[in-house]
Amino acid sequence: MCGANFGQSSSLKELETSGYPMRRAVTSEEMKLLEEKGQRIGISKLVMMENAGSAVATFAHDLVSDSSPSLERKHKVVLVAGTGNNGGDVFVAARHLVYWGNLEVVVLLIGQAGDIRTDGAKTNWEILLQIPNVRLVVIDKVANIDLIEVNAKDAAIMVIGIFGTGFKGVPRELQLKAIDRVNSIDGPMKISVDIPSGMEADSGSHDYSIKSNYTVTMHAPKVGMFTAGADQATGEIIQVNIGIPF
């Protein structure tokens, strides 16, 4: 695992010297084209999602293990998911976290289950429904936003994947309230999935984004992560391999 002090600024120079090769930062369109190139040689989006979620889970598990040498009691990991592919990565991560058995795993879905849009995210949500050791909480209205704080009580880690690289503009009210509530919670280490939810991948605008300790980014960092002040949202950037060999 690649460790860091919380609040440490992230720069491309730091990433390039952190012990592993950091790829050139890509735009959202470049990342989309890389995924499509992978699909053309037989790497499905479901496989990419599996690899992404597994990498997030491994990082989260290592992080809680390093921060708490004694794992005799269960530690709580709360995962906050949206209804798109970024949420699908979170669903996969939750399933992998259950494997170790020393974690209490809670998934908070921001939105209605019927709004889960992509085949990969739907598949992995339906898998979670069949795993009794994952607690699923659906937060589909602003009136229930307090459930985030209630369920995050005593959490060691929060993993957040409400929006991915396709996000632009201002979040809808429910998602904006969810981001604000997550940011207001002190205590857990916060891991963003691919990009801080609410950050624009190309411009780096992060007026409405999650404030992360770490961002586990897929395949390559996104160009917006290196714009002025973006490190306040990303925390330390961890690049992971999702199986695209380009």
Residue 209 has pLDDT above 90, yes or no: yes
Span of 8-12, 30-34, 57-61 with lowest mean pLDDT: 8-12
Do 188 and 109 contact (CB within 8 A), yes or no? no
∠ CA 221-174-201, nearest 5°, is 15
Render pLDDT for 83-108 as a digit per residue (tens, 0 to 9). Answer: 999 999 999 999 999 999 889 999 99
Residue 236 has pLDDT above 90, yes or no: yes
The reported pLDDT for the residue numbered 67 is 67
Query: Considering the domain boundaries, does residue 1 fall inside one?
Result: no
User: Cα-atom radius of gyration of the chain, to the nearest Å?
Assistant: 16
The reported pLDDT for the residue numbered 69 is 54
Query: Considering the domain boundaries, does residue 113 fall inside one?
Result: yes
Tell me the mean pLDDT in the region 151-162: 97
Provide the whole-model pTM: 0.90
Tell me the mean pLDDT in the region 57-62: 96
Query: Which residues, 6 or more positions from 136, have their beta carbon under 8 angstroms from its beta carbon?
Result: 107, 109, 128, 129
pLDDT band at 151 (very low <50, low <70, confident <90, very high): very high
Can you tell me the distance from the alpha carbon of 176 to that of 115, in angstroms, rounded to the nearest whole number?
17
Tell me the mean pLDDT in the region 109-124: 96
Query: Considering the domain boundaries, does residue 10 fall inside one?
Result: no
Q: What is the mean pLDDT of the chain?
A: 90
Render pLDDT for 171-189 as a digit per residue (tens, 0 to 9). Answer: 999 999 999 999 999 999 9
Do 67 and 24 contact (CB within 8 A), yes or no? no
Q: Give the percent of the chain with pLDDT over 90.
A: 85
- What is the count of structural domains for the chain? 1
Residue 52 has pLDDT above 80, yes or no: yes
Q: Which residues pair with 158 in a beta bridge?
A: 78, 190
Query: Considering the domain boundaries, does residue 245 fall inside one?
Result: no
Instruction: State the CATH number of the domain containing residue 151.
Output: 3.40.50.10260
- Its domain, for residue 143, covers 24-240
Query: Considering the domain boundaries, does residue 48 fall inside one?
Result: yes
The reported pLDDT for the residue numbered 5 is 30
Residue 160 has pLDDT above 50, yes or no: yes
∠ CA 79-85-88, nearest 5°, is 40
The reported pLDDT for the residue numbered 101 is 87
Query: Considering the domain boundaries, does residue 132 fall inside one?
Result: yes
pLDDT band at 1 (very low <50, low <70, confident <90, very high): very low
The reported pLDDT for the residue numbered 68 is 61
Query: Considering the domain boundaries, does residue 114 fall inside one?
Result: yes
pLDDT band at 66 (very low <50, low <70, confident <90, very high): confident
Query: Considering the domain boundaries, does residue 14 fall inside one?
Result: no
CA distances to 30, 56, 61, 83, 218 from 240, rounded to whole Å, are 17, 8, 15, 22, 5
CA distances to 12, 85, 128, 213 from 230, rounded to whole Å, are 12, 23, 33, 12
Do 239 and 15 contact (CB within 8 A), yes or no? yes
Do 197 and 209 contact (CB within 8 A), yes or no? yes
Query: Which residues, 6 or more positions from 102, have their beta carbon under 8 angstroms from its beta carbon?
Result: 71, 74, 75
Q: Which helix (H) or strand (E) holds 193?
A: strand 189-193
